[in-house]
Structure 1
Amino acid sequence: MNYKSFKKRSYEILEKGASDDRWSRRIDLFIISLIFLNILAIILESVNSLKRDYQLIFDYIEIFSIYIFTIEYILRIWSITEKEEYSQPIQGRLKYLFSFSSIIDLIAIVPAYIPLLIGVDSRVVRGIRLLRLFRILKLSRYNRAFSHIRNVVKSKKEELVISLFAVLTLLVISSSLMYFVENKAQPESFSSIPATMWWGVATLTTVGYGDVYPITGLGKFMAGIMAILGVGLFALPAGILANGFGNTLENKDSCQTCKHCGKDIN
């Protein structure tokens, strides 16, 4: 096998495997299993008794995973020029480096190298190690659900921004009004507008923790109106996303997949 064919074969194996490509499917299954193993290890490692008794096993899993993910990342950058979109040796690779998939791959390995390259406090190291949870996003390569979510958010970004602006506007207005109404009656709970925003978030999202609440008649009346408005406004993003998913699934049903390249065709 020469250099060019080896490079092409590396790209085919690392990309989501076709149903008739045995090695590619095996690598996909191996990477997926390793990602799930990492997430399980991170969760179990947070239990002090398990961390104390099985720290060596957790360390071995982390070291092995870093080796595999680093090799995978390097091979992807090297072989990505086999894809037409990134065919230029330098420009193509630079373009790929800033793609969503490449950034996720980089985030999956960077936390392991930061403490080695930079001397940081142990508390910072623990925070950095939590970034390993982002490795679950690597599953987006192998599951179309992730790509559907990304496509829906991208296609509905304008509507989502508008609904978010409406929610933030209502939060500011409601918190400001409630501050002026309740501040004299409860100077500790409603000490400022930023402090009152905690009540606003809890009320508008209908969570209602009950730690901060109005006690005046006018305050209760306003809180009831804001709670009703919150139900309607916070339902907007859900409706937008539901509509986007519906359109995406309809488009998916109207498309077929090319058996050679794996792309959707009308």
Structure 2
Amino acid sequence: MHSFRHFLAQVLESSGKHINKGRWLDFFLVLLILTNVIAIVIESVQSIAIEYKHYFIWIEIISVGLFTLEYLARLWACVDKEKYKNSGDSHLKMRFKYITSPLALIDLLAILPSYLMLFMSFDLRFLRVIRLMRVFKLTRYSRAMQLLLQSFKEEASSLGAAFFIMAIVLILASCGIYLIEHDIQPDKFGSIPESMWWAMATLTTVGYGDVVPITPLGRFFGGVITVLSMGMVAIPTGLLASSFSEQLRKRRTQFEDEVHACLEDGKLTLDEKNKLERLRLELGLSKQEAKSAIKKQQSSLYQKQYCPHCGKNTHN
């Protein structure tokens, strides 16, 4: 039983010796998720929903069944994940940590609405939107989404500070436009909370145009806020772009370090090539990036082994 659980953990996480089986399972689950999302979107068209009702029901039943099996399998096998099995915690504690992890919560939310529908009545429009959260399951299989989530995690404090400053500016902008425009446009700037709609639209540079200042002072104030907002929006954008680039660099460096370790004896064996291929898939690097890293390390090794002037082996 333990060996089967270990096998299942490697397949579900696309790691170890069974990485290829895991990749095929990931491919199937991605297709299933995309089929669900397309079906949910098309089902919102009333005429199609009525005509093909039974097909949509069967898609839902099969999908929920498979997603449930996947969730339970991940919950059972999570104790053999590298992340948890070396922690020294009990199996119960490991599974609790897994249940409360972001990806596990997304998996649960993907199936929970369908089960709740058996016991409670829901507005079908609300249920359809909740079921669309299944698209977030793609986070598990998308390299870009994983990098973005890691960027959010590492820049959480900086992003928090940026949004705190934006919240202060939002309040100041709302108060300012309220003082200037509330007597002229009481229906639009009658209170500070009502003024926040204009301030939010202006600070995010959206500018819907449904609420605008009409006094000269109000327009001047609005122009100042608009110019200020350009810099405010750029702060979190710059932080995320920088962190995203850093995550890519770290993954490439990790792969290059592993290539360097494998090339210590001057050549790559079949086992080492398979090991590097598994690492490439785990890190989400392209084949071109991997080839470039291997070529770079081989070139560096050649320069160390041979004299750049005479071409003789310096190790002899």
3-state DSSP class of the match of 1:90?
helix
Quick check: 1:179–1:196 contact (8 Å CA) kept in 2?
Answer: yes
1:44-123 superposed matches below 5 A: 44-87=42-85, 88-117=90-119, 119-120=120-121, 122-123=122-123
Deviates more, 1:48-57 or 1:108-117: 48-57
Judged with a 3 Å threshold, the aligned counterparts in structure 2 of structure 1 residues 17 and 138 are, in CA distance, closer, same or farther, namely farther
3-state DSSP class of the match of 2:118?
helix
3-state DSSP class of the match of 1:6?
helix
Q: For 1:246 and 1:260, locate their aligned partners in 2 and report how far apart those are by CA, in whole Å.
A: 23
1:206-225 superposed matches below 5 A: 206-225=205-224
Quick check: 1:17–1:25 contact (8 Å CA) kept in 2?
Answer: no
Q: For 1:23 and 1:155, locate their aligned partners in 2 and report how far apart those are by CA, in whole Å.
A: 32
3-state DSSP class of the match of 1:215?
coil
Q: Which residue of 2 aligns with 1:147?
A: 146
What TM-score do the two structures reach when normalised by structure 2?
A: 0.77
RMSD over aligned CA atoms reads: 2.0
Judged with a 3 Å threshold, the aligned counterparts in structure 2 of structure 1 residues 171 and 210 are, in CA distance, closer, same or farther, namely same
Across the two proteins, how many residue pairs are aligned to each other?
A: 259
Q: Shift of the alpha carbon at 1:18?
A: 6.5
Gapped regions of structure 1 (runs ≥ 5): none
3-state DSSP class of the match of 1:187?
coil
Amino acid at match of 1:100: P
Quick check: 1:112–1:129 contact (8 Å CA) kept in 2?
Answer: no
Q: Shift of the alpha carbon at 1:128?
A: 3.0
Amino acid at match of 1:116: L
Q: Shift of the alpha carbon at 1:26?
A: 2.3
Q: Shift of the alpha carbon at 1:166?
A: 1.2
Q: Shift of the alpha carbon at 1:172?
A: 0.6
Judged with a 3 Å threshold, the aligned counterparts in structure 2 of structure 1 residues 63 and 145 are, in CA distance, closer, same or farther, namely same
Q: Shift of the alpha carbon at 1:43?
A: 1.0
| 1:169-210 C-alpha deviation (Å, 9 max, x unpaired) | 111101111111111111111111100111111111221111
Deviates more, 1:236-245 or 1:81-90: 81-90
Q: For 1:250 and 1:28, locate their aligned partners in 2 and report how far apart those are by CA, in whole Å.
A: 25
In the alignment, structure 1 residue 13 sits paired with structure 2 residue 11 = yes
Quick check: 1:202–1:209 contact (8 Å CA) kept in 2?
Answer: yes
Percent identity of equivalent pairs = 37
Deviates more, 1:226-235 or 1:126-135: 126-135
1:148-167 superposed matches below 5 A: 148-167=147-166
Amino acid at match of 2:225: M
Q: For 1:147 and 1:102, locate their aligned partners in 2 and report how far apart those are by CA, in whole Å.
A: 14
Quick check: 2:15–2:278 contact (8 Å CA) kept in 1?
Answer: no
Judged with a 3 Å threshold, the aligned counterparts in structure 2 of structure 1 residues 162 and 243 are, in CA distance, closer, same or farther, namely same
Deviates more, 1:83-92 or 1:177-186: 83-92
Gapped regions of structure 2 (runs ≥ 5): 259-274, 284-316
Q: Shift of the alpha carbon at 1:6?
A: 1.8
What TM-score do the two structures reach when normalised by structure 1?
A: 0.90
In the alignment, structure 1 residue 126 sits paired with structure 2 residue 128 = no
Q: For 1:177 and 1:22, locate their aligned partners in 2 and report how far apart those are by CA, in whole Å.
A: 60
1:164-203 superposed matches below 5 A: 164-203=163-202
Quick check: 2:10–2:18 contact (8 Å CA) kept in 1?
Answer: no
Q: For 1:71 and 1:201, locate their aligned partners in 2 and report how far apart those are by CA, in whole Å.
A: 44
Q: Which residue of 2 aligns with 1:249?
A: 248
